[in-house]
Chain A
Amino acid sequence: MDEAALIQLARKGDLDAFNRLVMAYQDMVFNQAYRMISEFDVAEDAAQEAFIIAYRKLNTYRGGSFKAWLLRIVTNLCYDELRRRKRRPTTPLEPVDQDDEEIESPRWLSDPGESPEAAAERAELGRALQGCLNDLPEDFKAIVTLVDIQGMDYAEAAEVIGTPLGTVKSRLARARMRLRDCLQGFWELLPPSFRLLEESDT
């Protein structure tokens, strides 16, 4: 069954149909929340809340990209969470997942033949990248997450955050520029593929 049919059924109260949409998009929604909030448990709650809101407000969905509509909901929830944190700042603990492992563990960059040193460097790069993302303003963080992590094009990103295309373009450029500055000290930690890319570019 295609997405439009599932949405129609869900609008009529078919929770099973909606849950099929949840299954299709839950990874994307969770990743958006995690990259913006940077805390595993909070991101989990935000993702769940996003789907609950989406189900309740499904009648306000007026067509277009359902993916963008979902990401808009979760991004707005992340905005709310980040603003709440600003009002009541807390010292975040080292992010851990449900197995009490550090979130930016070497898993995502590791390869089987990797030495412990290389794995440690990758972990450090991952933490650095997430740290740089955390330092971005909310709007920059949202746009760079949507375009560079979620892989959306400018038009979809503009639909998600509700801004003109030109705003997306300028915010994305500034976000990337800031990240470039933030990552200056970590270039030597880049994996070999990045180094090869750098050499081929030069």
Chain B
Amino acid sequence: MTNRISPRDWEALSAYLDNQLGKQEYQQLETRLSAEGDLQKALDELRKTRQLLRSIPKYRAPRSFALTPAMVGIKNRGSSQQGAFTMLRLASFLATFFFLFITVGSLIVETNQPVQTVMMSSEIENAREGPPFGMGGGGGGEPVEQPAPAPLPTQEAQVSSLDQESEIVEGGVLEATTSVEGSVVESPEAFQAFTAPMEPQTVDQPVAGEEPVQKANSLQPGAETEPETETKEPSPILLILRVVQVTLAILALITGVGAFLLRRKFL
């Protein structure tokens, strides 16, 4: 009986099952269904067919269909990125290592530099003081025998004894010492002058002998500051180290950021 149903009726029945009919078509079909048994039977068979189809089990995928880079032809790209990542990581590590090495090295050099300066200054101080004078003090005991520098054996000894005498007499140690530093005692008469209260002109007395003059010159204030100005100038090695240090820091930063970005792609 259902064989008499037209294709248009089948289409309407199918759409009716899926609620795809318009309101008017729906009402018309409802009216026909209540009146035509064949149409109702066809609808029932169609409903069963549809129900059977919808009850078909859905299989699970037999395996994962997730894609690998090789499947979609990005193997080379992936391996090149992997290589770049490895290179950047290595470069970053090496740059960081050498940067730290040079930083520590330059710090050590810089910390040694003031020590050398201090050492040089202390040498200058020793030279200024010349042969060790009597340490003064209120004891006024026997003058200590000090080895004098070779060029001025007698003069230094005389200055030493003069110093002690000046302390005993009336001049301060500093005054006597100052006068000795600025001048050189030449003769026994001069010793008498030193035993008298210090006068300014003793400083301006003529200097005899080349070596004492040289020594005195080396102790001038201008001569004292010369070594200090030399230590303040950065050495070429330190400059090179600074350049290398900055270059390595930049390199470590760039390669590190690059490796980090690539790593985010892989992980």
Give the distance in Å from the alpha carbon of A66 to the alpha carbon of B10 in the complex.
Answer: 31
Given A148-B53, A180-B45, answer yes or no on A173-B59 (Cβ-Cβ < 8 Å). Answer: no
Beta-carbon contacts under 8 Å, B25-71 to A? 44-69, 71
Given A22-B66, A40-B62, answer yes or no on A173-B10 (Cβ-Cβ < 8 Å). Answer: yes
A170 at the binding interface (Cβ < 8 Å): yes
Per-residue contact bits, chain A 1-38, to B (CB 8 Å; 1 contact, 0 not): 00000000000010100110011001111110011000
Which applies to chain A's interface (DSSP): helix, strand, loop or mixed?
helix
Give the distance in Å from the alpha carbon of A172 to the alpha carbon of B10 in the complex.
Answer: 10
Beta-carbon contacts under 8 Å, A25-57 to B? 26-31, 34-35, 40, 44, 47-48, 51-52, 55-56
Q: How many A-B residue pairs have CB under 8 A?
A: 126
Give the distance in Å from the alpha carbon of A154 to the alpha carbon of B17 in the complex.
Answer: 12
Q: Are B53 and A149 in contact (CB under 8 A)?
A: yes
Could you list 28 A-B pairs, sorted by A, with CB under 8 Å?
A15-B72, A15-B74, A19-B67, A26-B64, A27-B58, A29-B61, A30-B61, A30-B62, A30-B65, A51-B65, A55-B72, A107-B57, A144-B53, A147-B18, A149-B54, A169-B11, A169-B15, A169-B20, A174-B7, A176-B49, A176-B53, A177-B7, A177-B10, A180-B48, A190-B48, A194-B51, A201-B44, A202-B44
Q: Are A173 and B11 in contact (CB under 8 A)?
A: yes
Q: Are A27 and B20 in contact (CB under 8 A)?
A: no
B side interface size, CB within 8 A: 38
Q: Are B74 and A13 in contact (CB under 8 A)?
A: yes
Q: Which of B15, B63, B66, B67 makes the CB contact (< 8 A) with A173?
A: B15
Q: Are B72 and A56 in contact (CB under 8 A)?
A: yes
Given A174-B10, A197-B48, answer yes or no on A26-B67 (Cβ-Cβ < 8 Å). Answer: no
Q: Are A97 and B62 in contact (CB under 8 A)?
A: yes
How far does the Cβ of A202 sit from chain B's closest Cβ, in whole Å?
7
Beta-carbon contacts under 8 Å, A161-178 to B? 169-170, 172-174, 176-177
Q: Are A27 and B60 in contact (CB under 8 A)?
A: yes
A131 at the binding interface (Cβ < 8 Å): no
Give B contacts to A, CB under 8 Å: 7, 10-15, 18, 20, 44-69, 71-72, 74
Give the distance in Å from the alpha carbon of A51 to the alpha carbon of B72 in the complex.
Answer: 10
Contacts of B13 in A (CB 8 A): 173
Q: Are B46 and A180 in contact (CB under 8 A)?
A: yes
Contacts of A151 in B (CB 8 A): 54
Contacts of A100 in B (CB 8 A): none
